[in-house]
Each structure stands twice: as C-alpha cells, then as structure tokens.
Structure 1
Amino acid sequence: MTSRRSFLKWSALVAGATALGGGGLLLSRYPGGAPVGGGLAGAAGAGSGAAAAGSRIFRTANTPECLHCAMLAHVKDGRLVKVTGDPDFNVLACARGISRIRQLYSPHRLKYPMRRAGRRGEDRWERITWEEALDTIAERYRRILEEDGNQAFLAMGGTGNWSTLSTGVRGLYSAFWNRFGGATPIISQLCCASVSSGFNAIFGGGRSEFRDEWVHSRFFLAWGNNPAVSNQGYMKNLFDAREEHGARVVTIDPRLSETAALSDRWIQIRPGTDAALALGMVKVLLDEELFDAEYVRLHTNAPFLVRLGERGYDLQEASRSWPAGGESLPVDLRDLRLLTNGGTGPGSFVVWDERSGRPVAADTPGARAALRGSYTIDGVRYQPVFEWMRAIASRYTPEVVHRITGAPADSVAAVTREYASVRPAAIIQNMAGAQRTDHGTLTVIGHLYLASLTGNVGLLGGGVNDNGGYLSEGGTVNPPVPLQRNPRIEGIPATKLGEYLVERKPHPIRALHVAGTGVLTQYPNTRKIIEGLDNLDLMVVQDIFMTTTARYADFVLPVTTLFETRNLLAGIRSRYIQLMEQAIEPLFESRSDRWIMTELAKRLGFGNDFDKPDDDLLRYVLEPTGVTLDQLEEGPVNPMPDPWIPFADKKFNTPSGRIEFFSLYLQERGFDPLLEYLHPVEAPWVDERRAARYPLQLINRKNHNHVNSSFHHHDFLTEIWASQVLQIHPDDAKPRGIEDGGRIRVFNDRGEIEAMAQVTRGIMAGVVSVTTGWGAVNEKQTASILSPDKYEPISLGHTLNSSMVEVAGGGAASPGDTA
C-alpha cells in the first residue's frame, strides 16, 4: 500500500529529476468507503488489454495552467482507483497530475450548494438545493441587468479548469458571458502580459514555443525562469541535448532554483535589472562582431535609416559623451524618425546601399544594406538603426552592468561568448518571473534582441522559448456556441482590481461571478480586493473546494473534478488536442461548470444553444482543427507541424515585415522605440526612502507541488511543502534574529503574511522569496497580500517581483496551509 512516506520520497525524486517519468498514484485511505489499493506503478496504455478484470481505463488530461499532461483514469466498479500518465504522450504526468485522485476523494470537497449565512468572509453557510441556488442567482442577475446593465457584472474565469466546456480559452464560460450581453472585462493579464507586449513590439505578435525541439539545441539560457519546476516534463529534452550534443545550460536568477542547481553556470542578478544585463550582452555581441551580420541585414530593420531632429544628429561624435548605462540619455529616443520613400508597406523603408552608394528601398533586389556609418541625404544626417543600437549598448560596460545588476563583471562577456558560439541556442523564458517586474516588457525585448542578433529566430531548436500551444501558435477552435457582437464596456486593469472595486471605477460592479480561479490568491493587494467585495450586491463562486475566495461569496456552487464530466482540452499550453472522457458519475451534488452555466443560460432566456449533448458542442468546437472526436477517442492529436519551428519563414507581422529592433509598435504608443534600460520603481537600491522601512526585495517562486493556487487540497502534495516558506540569505536573517525553520512575519504597507523561514545562501543577499499562489486554504499565508497593484507601463502587466518588504521573527504562522 502506498504510504505518505513513500509518496513523499518519490515526489522528492520527481522534483530532483524534474519529473521525467509518469507513475501511478492509488487511492489509499480516505474515509467513506473509498477503495484501497496497491502502490506506484507504470502506466498501461489505453486499450492495451492491461486493465484488470472488471476495470476500465478512461482518457483525460490535467487542466490547470501547467503542461496539460495526458492521463489515464483506471476505474473499477464505478470508482477511480488509480491515475497514471499516458506513456504515449509527449510528456509524462508528474505528481500534480497523478495526485488528482486525492482531489476527487478529498474529504474537503464541496458537496452541495450553499448560501452565505453570516458576514462576508465569516465562513458561515446554509445548505440549499440546486434549484433554489440557480433560481435565486438568475433572478438577481435579471434585476441587476435591468437596473444597471451588463457593465454591472464582472466575470472572472481562470486556469484552474482550463478546458473547453469550462473556463478554457474560447471556452463555454466566456461564451456564456458573451451571450449574456457582455460583462466588464479585465484588461491585460497577471501571467504573461509583458511577454505578449515584447513579442508584439519586436516580432509583430505571435508566441514562440519549441519545448519538444529542445533536443536540437546546443545551448540553453534559462533567464528568470525555472523550467525544472514549471516545465519539468520537457526537461528530458534538455538532458538529451546535453548528452547527445554537449549542450550547456546557464541560469540567470537571483535564486538557486532547481534549474540553477542543474546548470553549468549560475548568474545572480537583482530582480528587475535584466534589461541592463541584456544590453551588456548586446555590447559584447556588437563589439566582438559575434552577431550574424547577414541575418541582421536581411531579416531585421537594423539597416533602416533613422534621424533625430529635422537636420539629423552627429551620433558618432555626440554619443562619446553620453552617460553610463542606467543614467538618462541626453536625447529622447521617441523623437527618432525612420526614413521612408513616401510609400506604404515593407517597401517604403529606406537603407543605404553599399554597392551603389545611395539610398534605396529596403527590398531593392541586389542591394547590400549598410549596418554602419552616417549618411547625408538632402542635407539631413541619417544613421542605420544598428548604429543607434550600438551607441545605446556601448554604455553598458561590464563594470556598469555589475553596478546595476550585481552580476559579476567578468560573467557578462563569458556568457555572451558562450551563447553566440553555437547554434541553435535557446533562451528559455516561459513567462518568466523576470517579466513580472516594473519594466518586464524590456526584459522580454532584451531576450528577443539577443536571439535575433545571433540568427537564432526561425531556426530549429533556437530562439526565445515561451510557453505556448495550439491556440497560441496559429491554431483555432470554435467556441462551443456561436458568439454575438456586444457593445463595448470599459474594463478594469488586472492589477487594479481592488482599487477599482473600492472606488467603483470605471463604474460600480454589483455582481461578481468566479470560476476556476482564486481571486484572493492571484490578484495583487488582496486586502484592497477584500475591501472592495463589500461593495458587491452578489458574489457567486463555483469551485471544487471552499477556497479563501469562496469564503467571501454569497453563493458557493460545488463543481465536478475532471474525472466526473466529459470535456475537451485545446488550449495555449500544449500543442495537443485531447478528449477528456467521463470516468465516474459526479460525487455528492457536484455539477460541471458546463451544466451550471447551461442551467443559468436557460433561466436567463438564451439556453437553447447551450442545452445540447456534449458531443454536439465538441464537434462544433473541433470544426476548424480538422481533428475528429473519433481520432481523439484513440488518443491526443497534435495538429501542428512536427518538428515545430516558430517563425521558420522569417515573416513577421510588423510594418516592415521584419524583426523590428526599432519598434514602431512602441513608438506609436509613446514609448522608446529602441531598447534602453529603466530602473525598477519599487526596489531598495532605487527607493531609499521606502527602503528605510522595507529594505528587502521580494520575489515570488513556483513550487513543484502546486500550480498557482491549485492542488493545495491534495494532502500528499501539501506534505511535500506544507506551508508558506520564505527563503532568506544568512546575512539578512542574522541581524533580524531569524533562524532556519523559524516562524516569521513578512510585511509591507499592503499587509502581512505568516511563513516559515528557510535560511539559505541560495538566494541573493537583500532579496527574499515566497511561493506565489499560496494561501488557497490559509489566507494568512497568501503572498498576493504583499504584491503591488501598480502595473508595467507598456503591457499593463503584473509587477509582483518589484516589491519591497521587511521580515521579522515571531508571528503565529499555522503549521501548514491545509484544512
């Protein structure tokens, strides 16, 4: 029989070996007559005949925002007895996936609809019927709609159940609110807004995911990202590249992450200073001519001619007296203007042809565009964009980079030479924590500059690797029901949720409906959000558990797990489309997200398109994919080319059709069109006055035993990592009287949390780290209480890793974040 001790031991091996294999977790000892069974075992393929007599195997998938691993649900006599990873899938399920059986049979599951019976957040409830719950919610929705319109509603659907008939991208939950007539939208994202803005600025959009192709890479730069935890299933490809091609791995991170521990080189930098390091590397590439000049000439706008001012600017002379990197330039980069020939489209931009010695259109056949020099045209002085890039980067000497970032001065040239010496080279960015900072878009742009200068974009196994999947790489699906066009409603920035609820901006929100997300564990400045909830007339939460968010609701609706309903997974975190078969009947009075939204739609007068058999909806969803349900019955299907090479055709959806080092996207929005480092807003070495009270820089990390706020109710997983843990350097711990394992308080002017201290030299002095998303059960350990609600200026994204705190011993932290 599987013991907790053996599971913990196995899970530690999974973490250390990056979860390369998929095992099976059997139900062992939940109360209530649940079955008892064996131990961890390898998966048997569906239809292989390996199932025990009287048992069946159903296909399903892990739906939170992780790797969407394919799983096999083993059912005997109507009960789930084991979950295994599908051995034929591209990645094998880790502990988070196979532990879903602990979620299914957890004693903490919501069992029936409930209505609040005390003050909001007091956690007092009365049991009601489904009919009463849905009738009451629908009636109150109708009343609010009549009185204040659709703008009075805020619908928040998250990644906890990121599937088609639930809260997935283009899923049924969003379709419901579309057919309802709309609701106040959330503007931007918490996770990857700066990634999107960076790709928009330089590549004209798109995302770049090639994790299955890592095996072809010769060098990996894991930048502000920890793929050994966040992409553990794909780490086998990195290891194969090391074994087969001698690929080296360098990690850039303030913290000795699991990936850093596996790396050939670990470079610590201050959070939020990544763009300075990137510019230092650009300087080395250009000074030592380690860039791919022909690639840059043909596929980027580096040769395009640009001027500053009406008569131009003597860049070569003036830039000699420019201040060091990190200090303000004496010119405004926003005033730069590209030279055009008066036309439109890619052919309108002008370069200097070295062969003819005159300006020509960039797409002129036979022309050789100059990258260097200064040219006078009609009395106006121009330089190629490349020269401006060089002038900006020249200010970021190794010593300057060290002063800004804390990285060893001699590491800048060393890592740059390594990166440029082999191809293909991959920068693993994967929605990095480094882009969730005050100027995170600049971090992403720095990555794209490096990949583009070295000719790694559009190369098998090369480029900047971001998390992606079928829908983010050009694929499409239909929503489950046809959508309608609704009037525009002014939205709420994602990071400003609390402020906007409190101040009733841009208009009062009267009804909040939440599904598949932990609002109070994910959105920043939690205390402000809780304050804003008092302005609501109605809050509805549908979830599997009584989370910290659900405790503040007026109605809580019990939702099925992935084993209790039929569904489809076609999203933006995996290339595969997967059928999720219903393995068992719903337990207790739980109902699927699809059933709940359909019943509400029927009561609100638009249920006809929703009230259809599951497979009718799924077939409609699949129409654009060319994939059929019959195919999916046999297993997951990858409709994308294999191998996958992002931007293989070197075509980019930019005004020039090229990679744009000089970003018209940014210039049109009032930002510098060329990469220049900006200091973070909230950092101790920047804001000295604030540092007098909160001298430590706070960053958030992900753990291998949960995803965001999911999996906190899986007892075996929470015993691996049982509470909020703050990592702190000994030099910061000692003067505060903090000892390893001691209970501590972490606080700033936004609030306070409880945690346990891990005193370690594996984190940069002056920086501390907590687990993001923690607190799904114990609100006192919620890291988002400390997170700032300011946003990144370009993307409006989350800046949780640009935050300052103080740490003190004592406190009354609970033994664990478990119910």
Structure 2
Amino acid sequence: MNAPPRLAPHSSHWGVFSAGWRDGTLVVEPYAGDPDPNPLLQNFPEALHHRARIAQPMVRRGWLERGPGKDDRRGRDEFIPMEWDKVLDLLAAELARVRDAHGPGAIFGGSYGWSSAGRFHHAQSQVHRFLNTTLGGYVKSVNSYSAGASAVILPHFLGPMDSVARRNVTWEAIVEHTEICVAFGGMALKNSMVASGGVSQHIERRSMKAARERGCDFINISPLRDDLPEEAGAEWLAPVPGTDTALMLGIAHTLLAEGLHDAEFIARYCTGWEAFETYLTGRSDGVPKTAEWAAAICGLPADTIAGLARRMAGKRCLIAMAHSLQRAEHGEQPVWMAGVLAAMLGQHGLPGGGYNYALGSIAHYGKRHNAVPAAALPQGKNGVGAFIPVARISDMLLNPGKPFDYDGQKLTYADIRLVYWAGGNPFHHHQDLNRLRQAFAAVETLVVHEIAWTATARHADIVLPTTMTLEREDIGAAPTDPLMVAMHRIAEPFGQARDDYAIFTDLATRLGRAQEFTEGRDARGWLRHLYEPTRKALAEQGHHAPDFEQFWEEGFLPLPQSEDDGGIIRAFRDDPEGAPLPTRTGKIQLSSETIAGFGYDDCPGHPAWLEPSDAPAAGRPLWLVANQPATRLHSQFDFGGHSSAKKRRGREVMRIHPEDAAPRGIADGDIVRLFNDRGACLATASVSADVRPGVVQLPTGAWYDPEDPQEAKALCVHGNPNVLTRDVGTSRLAQGCTGQLTSVEVEPFTGNLPPIRAFDPPGG
C-alpha cells in the first residue's frame, strides 16, 4: 500500500496548516499545535480553481480603444484578453505618461487590504516598493478601516494604538487576575480567529473558559448576544447601537457620585480631570450624566447601569473595547471614554486590569511578543508627502483640490490621475458603493492585480492575474506568534497568473529601474534575505537557528517569546516620572487642550455624548449593524466552500428579532430587501432573539453584485450592506470609517428573484 503524500506547510491570516493533493483533491489540515483551528481554512480547496479566478491579463475595451480618461462605463464594460508582454508595455507607457506629465503625486497607491500572510509576497508592500523605487513615490493612505478613529485619538490621551492593543493586557494575565471583564462591543471569536501574518495558536476560547472557571465575570455589552462565546458565560447587556459613550458616562457619574472612583490614581497619573468632571456633573451644560440620563439614551435600566458601576469598583476590572464601536459616527468618543473609565477605577497598568483597546478583535492582541524579529519587505522612500485617511478615497477622487481637516491639520486632496491597486477590495471595505462607483469613474486609469473577478477588478482598466498564496513560496511570521512557517508552494499558478513580484520586476525593467526594485534578488533570494535577521537573533540568543535550507526542509521554526511586561502602560504605573506616557503631558489625558484647540464641533476636548445624525427615523426605523463576517476574512474567498455553505439560498444571511420580523410579515428563510435612500440589497432572513429588538445584522463581505450595473442605485442581489452605509468620516479629527452602523427598513422581497452573478467572469 502506497504511503499518503506528504502535506507541505503553509500559513494564512486565519491559521497555520499543511496542504497537499490526495486523489486529485486538495487536502488542508490545520497545524497540530492549534487548540482551536479556524474552519475558514476550508475555503481553500474550492477557491483554488474556481471559475471566479482570472486566467490571463485583461484590458477594458473602452480604455483600450479611447485611451485613458474618465469613464462611467467602468464596472459594465467588456474586457479584452491580452498577452503579458503587450499589456506590460501598455502599462509601463501609461505609468511613464502620468509620471512625466503630472508627477508621482498624481498616482494613488491604494492597495488597502489583508493581502496574504507572507513576509515577502505581501501585495501592498510590493506595490508600494515598486511605486517608490521606480516612479518616485505615490499618494498614500494612513490608518485603517478597522481602527481609523482609534489610531488618531489614542495617542492624544494614552499612547500609540499598538501599545494599547498589542502590548498591554495578555490572555495569560486575564486567566490569572481578572475579576470582571466588561467588553464593550464584545470579543467575538470570529474576529480573533484571524491575524495578519498568520496565527498558529487560537487561545481565546480556552482563555475565556479558564478565566470564567476561576471566577471572572464577563459582561457582553453589544446588540448581538454572540459577541462573546458561550465559554465566557457572559451576561448580555444590549444597549441601543452607538450609545456606548452615554452608557459609560452613566457608569462614570455613578462612580463619582458614590465616591467609588480612585481619586488618588487620578491625581497622580492623569491630567484634565477638572474639565471632564465639569462636563460629567453637568456644570458645563446643565445636564448631569447620571445613570437615569444614560438609561433614556441607551435603552438599559438605570438600576442596571448603576449596578454595573458598583460591580466594577474595587475589583481587578478590565475594560475591553471592540473596533466596531469606533467604526461609527463620533467613533473617537467611546475609545476615549473607555480609557477615562479605566482611570476612574484606578486600573490602568495592573495585570489583567485596566483598558485594552481591541482585545479579541484580532488574534495578535493579548499575546506576548516574540524575542526575535521577523523582517518585512522594505518599501523604500516615498517622495510624495500627500496622503488621505484611508476611508476618504471617494472624497479624494471626486474632489481634487478640496481642503479637508485631519488631526489638527488643514490638508488638500490630491488630483489623482492613476490608481494602482494590488491586494484588497474596496468594494468590501468602503461605504456607499454607488458613490465609490462614481469615484472610480472619475480617474483616467485604474490598474488592479487580482486573483479573482472582484467588483474592484470589474471596474479596472487593466487587470493583471496574480497567484494565490498556495501558488507561491513565502515565509509566514507575526510579531506575537511563536512559530515561523516555511510556506511551500502547494499548487501551480492558475492559468497565466504571475506573482506580484514578477509583474513589478518586468515593469521596473521597462521603466529602467530593475536594479532599484529587485536589488539583484529573485523571489527565493528575497526569502533568504528576509529570514536572516531571525536566524541571526536566534543564534545570538542560543536558540535553534537553522540555515535557510534547513528551515525550509523542517517547515516550522519555534520562536522564543518575551516576558509579559505590560508594555508602556505598566511601566508608567510603576514609575510615572521615570517612564512617562508618550502623550503631550506624559500622563493619561482625561481631557485635551490640544484637541480643544482644534475647534472641532464633532470632537470636543474631552469625551462627550454626541447625537448621531443617522439614527433610525421615519422610512428607515431599524438600526443596521454591518459587522465583520464569520465565514471568511472580510471578502476574501467569498466563493470558497466554507463561505458558500453558510449562505442561505445563495445570499448573505440577515438576522432580525422576532418582534421586528412579525409585523413586517418576515419568516425565517425569506428573501428580504434592505433599503434606505442610498441603496438596497437582498439577503436571506434569519429570525433570531440573539439580536436586540430594533436591530438587524448583516455582515460585510458578500461580493457586490448589482442587478443592473447601469443603474445609479442598482440593487445588490447578493447582500453587500455597503450599498446602504454612509461615506462620511467619524469626525474632523480622525476621518475614520463609519460603516458599522446605519439606519434601514426591511421588507419581504416579492419580485422575480434575480440570479447571483458575483462569481461569474465578466461576459460569462
């Protein structure tokens, strides 16, 4: 009997695994050391050779026949197949034209998204290195859709986001020390099952179970019951979406009024208490932020709010806050207010206590850092200083030369002629997709590298087919994961697909900058180069340090980890004078003269409750929570087997409470239409008491599938909620994404059910 074929190691954002072929079928097996493997790994087998894959270079007919220019036919035009040499000649000439006529400041290197887990074949790093070394730079984006508001507000009052999220409270400390964990927005396992650069051990479920068994109380504050797993045994409090800041203020007022706050901690470690206290007590505006005041806003009983404050005081209390809360209008406020609440409790810097922003939002958070580095592809120097907050792309493309505010600065949108996108799908990340369609119609040339026919690829002028991660070699590693992975090639490239690096090398050669881009290395040469800092550090510390060939043969390399030191926040608690925080005052800023000086009416100088402008109203009476999906990472491999199997009737699933379903005549399994004044989409209804009444939940990531691409507000038949969400910034401070919440109406769909064509090639 023949031995089964050896499975080769590989890695992805949702887990480390081994894969290979058995009887012509791709087999994917999770890493044996992972205590809670992610089922998203099973999206690979069906996705590898799916009909949605792009087999050869394609050029949009309108661009090919009429040349670069604005064109509203993007997204509905025909594509013409082209040989690699010819399409690269055309693209190199177009890049040179834009560079010479308008300068590199007319090129936007968007390429936002998760790309792949490898240290080398990371699409954003590749395209940014190419634009920097061959064209002199590009207009970039800053921050992320996930954390656009928090990345700006956190440094003003506590410290950089990575310090507050990545190097702060660990799961080990929670298991050992935490007595009560209040999770605003929950800590859903669907989020912590993924991590950029890969994850070999999913420990969140077992950590919450162990903490609970020791006696830790978990409080899930979310409109969704399953934003904490069953293992946490959590108490569920379901406030009105977007009202968490008011809830926190009500808790804070109770702490102050009943003398439960830590005045000594505030005096020693904080600044700005007086301004915040004046607001909290109502001396500044005549409105005390009592539990009763908060109850009227957030829909929870005043006794529950006051009782929670009393339970939190005097205990080792951890306040966690999900990305989701700040992905909404005024998203800076809950981030800041949660930090103030932890300060009032005197918990910052204690093991298992304090404030950990985004704990549970990604698998890297809550873990110790590695004691050795993992190198990344250097991107070179960007000669262009212009940038945008990442979620303002439509604003930029539609309003060249228009001024905008950002973190105290007055900036101007660049005049973009060419957009180069490699890795990522803005038709997943971005809001108000009909407006995004208009924005992409306004550029002269849109270039996309893609493995499959996403909506972004369908709107491109030049589409270059790229390899999937399984079709190339790479190194998987992350700063907080104790395993480096030799990512072997599992399959041959699909059709004529090429690695991004091979494409950019050929383009750089045509532009006379090959040496600057490649530094004389092929792909395997870069892997050796990137591995060397890790090997050297391992050897210096006396650990197993194989050479590259041995590492590649062994497949998995354990990495040592540092001690859990609590980062800058614990160091500050231990020695506030000797280890000040990197804020303006060196202390926790409960209010900020700097932010107050900006004069933003939508982000004052202290945390505050600000009424949302998109709350439910006549014609759109329900809150829509457009959160991250459980069946894929964002929109990646929506056509994969696991993602497809979780759809119902081929469409994304929308959850609705029985109290909202019954008067609308909606039954479980019905096709429904969600709509507001921005657009409409179809979904399959799941009637469930696990959502708050007045709330519907539809995850993002279903590929945008307009019934009639020629219509300005075409119905998405597949269930992409971003046809409904608003394209506005969180505030003038951060200009972050507000896609988590909007208001809608839902009704049964009674027309002829349109077919789903999202995964069919254009013209297919």
TM-score, normalization: structure 2?
0.80
1:211–1:234 Cα contact (<8 Å) kept: no
Q: Distance in 2 between matches of 1:137 and 1:721?
A: 38
Which structure has more RCO (C-alpha within 8 Å, separation ≥ 6)?
2
1:460 to 344, 351, 366: 351
For 1:245, the equivalent position in structure 2 comes to 214
For 1:384, the equivalent position in structure 2 comes to none
Q: Distance in 1 between matches of 2:745 and 2:427?
A: 22
Partner SS state of residue 540, structure 1: strand
Partner SS state of residue 745, structure 2: strand
Partner SS state of residue 165, structure 2: coil
Q: 1:614 to 1:76 in 2, by over 3 A?
A: farther
Partner SS state of residue 757, structure 1: strand
Amino acid at match of 2:747: A
Deviation (angstroms), 1:570: 4.5
Q: How does 1:798-813 map to 2 (within 5 A)?
A: 798-810=737-749, 811=751
Q: How does 1:600-749 map to 2 (within 5 A)?
A: 600-611=507-518, 612-621=521-530, 626=537, 630=547, 633=552, 634=554, 635-638=556-559, 640-643=561-564, 645-646=566-567, 647-650=569-572, 651=579, 652-670=581-599, 671-684=603-616, 691-722=617-648, 723-749=651-677
Amino acid at match of 1:705: T
Q: 1:407 to 1:166 in 2, by over 3 A?
A: farther
For 1:117, the equivalent position in structure 2 comes to 61
Partner SS state of residue 156, structure 1: coil
For 2:139, the equivalent position in structure 1 comes to 184
Over residues 738-788 of structure 1, what are the superposed CA-to-partner deviations in whole Å (9 max), with x where a residue is unaligned? 333222222222212122222333323332221112225675432111111
Deviation (angstroms), 1:530: 0.9
1:599 to 499, 506, 518: 506
Partner SS state of residue 6, structure 2: strand
Q: Distance in 1 between matches of 2:627 and 2:605?
A: 31
Verify: 1:764 aligned to 2:660, yes or no: no
Deviation (angstroms), 1:615: 4.4
Partner SS state of residue 445, structure 1: helix
2:301 to 386, 408, 416: 408
1:498–1:525 Cα contact (<8 Å) kept: no
Q: Distance in 1 between matches of 2:561 and 2:263?
A: 32
Computing the radius of gyration from Cα coordinates, the structure with the larger value is 1
Q: 1:605 to 1:416 in 2, by over 3 A?
A: farther
Partner SS state of residue 45, structure 2: helix
For 1:589, the equivalent position in structure 2 comes to 496
Deviation (angstroms), 1:184: 2.1
Q: Distance in 1 between matches of 2:680 and 2:295?
A: 33
1:752 to 680, 683, 687: 680
2:15 to 66, 69, 74: 69
1:272–1:439 Cα contact (<8 Å) kept: no
Amino acid at match of 2:610: L
Partner SS state of residue 513, structure 1: strand
Deviation (angstroms), 1:700: 0.9
Q: Distance in 2 between matches of 1:717 and 1:541?
A: 24
Q: How does 1:196-345 map to 2 (within 5 A)?
A: 196-205=151-160, 206-209=163-166, 210=169, 212-213=171-172, 214-216=174-176, 217-232=178-193, 233-259=202-228, 263-301=233-271, 322=283, 329=285
Q: Distance in 1 between matches of 2:254 and 2:490?
A: 57
Q: 1:307 to 1:763 in 2, by over 3 A?
A: closer
1:112–1:128 Cα contact (<8 Å) kept: yes
Over residues 419-440 of structure 1, what are the superposed CA-to-partner deviations in whole Å (9 max), with x where a residue is unaligned? 33532x3333242x11111111
Over residues 424-459 of structure 1, what are the superposed CA-to-partner deviations in whole Å (9 max), with x where a residue is unaligned? x3333242x111111111111122222333343323
Verify: 1:56 aligned to 2:17, yes or no: no
Q: 1:199 to 1:472 in 2, by over 3 A?
A: farther
Q: How does 1:127-146 map to 2 (within 5 A)?
A: 127-146=81-100
Q: 1:484 to 1:500 in 2, by over 3 A?
A: closer
Amino acid at match of 2:251: M
Stretches of structure 2 that go unaligned for 5 or more consecutive residues are 63-72, 194-201, 402-412, 539-544, 573-578, 707-715
1:480 to 369, 377, 384: 377
Q: Distance in 2 between matches of 1:763 and 1:702?
A: 15
Deviation (angstroms), 1:713: 1.1
2:183–2:322 Cα contact (<8 Å) kept: no
1:725–1:770 Cα contact (<8 Å) kept: yes
Deviation (angstroms), 1:624: 6.1
2:391–2:737 Cα contact (<8 Å) kept: yes
Partner SS state of residue 257, structure 1: helix
Q: 1:97 to 1:452 in 2, by over 3 A?
A: farther
Q: Distance in 2 between matches of 1:524 and 1:121?
A: 17
Over residues 713-733 of structure 1, what are the superposed CA-to-partner deviations in whole Å (9 max), with x where a residue is unaligned? 103321122422222233333
Deviation (angstroms), 1:485: 4.7
Amino acid at match of 1:406: G
Deviation (angstroms), 1:92: 4.2
Q: 1:187 to 1:587 in 2, by over 3 A?
A: closer
1:228–1:259 Cα contact (<8 Å) kept: yes
For 1:792, the equivalent position in structure 2 comes to 730
Q: Distance in 2 between matches of 1:759 and 1:598?
A: 52
For 1:538, the equivalent position in structure 2 comes to 445
Q: 1:485 to 1:677 in 2, by over 3 A?
A: same
Q: Distance in 1 between matches of 2:280 and 2:262?
A: 24
Q: 1:751 to 1:54 in 2, by over 3 A?
A: same
Q: 1:93 to 1:105 in 2, by over 3 A?
A: farther
Q: 1:550 to 1:623 in 2, by over 3 A?
A: same
TM-score, normalization: structure 1?
0.75
Amino acid at match of 1:787: T
Partner SS state of residue 798, structure 1: coil
* Root-mean-square deviation over aligned CA pairs: 3.3
Deviation (angstroms), 1:527: 0.7
Partner SS state of residue 271, structure 2: coil
Q: Distance in 1 between matches of 2:663 and 2:213?
A: 48
For 2:310, the equivalent position in structure 1 comes to 417
- Aligned-residue sequence identity (percent) comes to 26
For 1:687, the equivalent position in structure 2 comes to none
Amino acid at match of 2:165: S
Partner SS state of residue 8, structure 2: strand
Partner SS state of residue 605, structure 1: coil
1:218–1:241 Cα contact (<8 Å) kept: no
2:463 to 532, 548, 556: 556
Over residues 63-96 of structure 1, what are the superposed CA-to-partner deviations in whole Å (9 max), with x where a residue is unaligned? 3xxxx5222223569x77322221235x643111
For 2:289, the equivalent position in structure 1 comes to 396
For 1:33, the equivalent position in structure 2 comes to none
Over residues 645-677 of structure 1, what are the superposed CA-to-partner deviations in whole Å (9 max), with x where a residue is unaligned? 243312421133222223355335445332222
User: Which segment is superposed worse, 397-406 or 106-115?
Assistant: 106-115
1:518–1:776 Cα contact (<8 Å) kept: no
Deviation (angstroms), 1:529: 1.3
Amino acid at match of 1:106: H
Deviation (angstroms), 1:302: 6.2
Q: How many residue pairs get matched?
A: 676
1:773 to 660, 680, 701: 701
Deviation (angstroms), 1:400: 0.9
Q: Distance in 2 between matches of 1:703 and 1:203?
A: 30
Q: Distance in 2 between matches of 1:482 and 1:186?
A: 14
1:499–1:529 Cα contact (<8 Å) kept: no
Deviation (angstroms), 1:117: 3.5
1:80–1:583 Cα contact (<8 Å) kept: no
User: Which segment is superposed worse, 270-279 or 583-592?
Assistant: 583-592
Q: 1:211 to 1:102 in 2, by over 3 A?
A: farther
Verify: 1:87 aligned to 2:42, yes or no: no
Q: 1:561 to 1:137 in 2, by over 3 A?
A: same
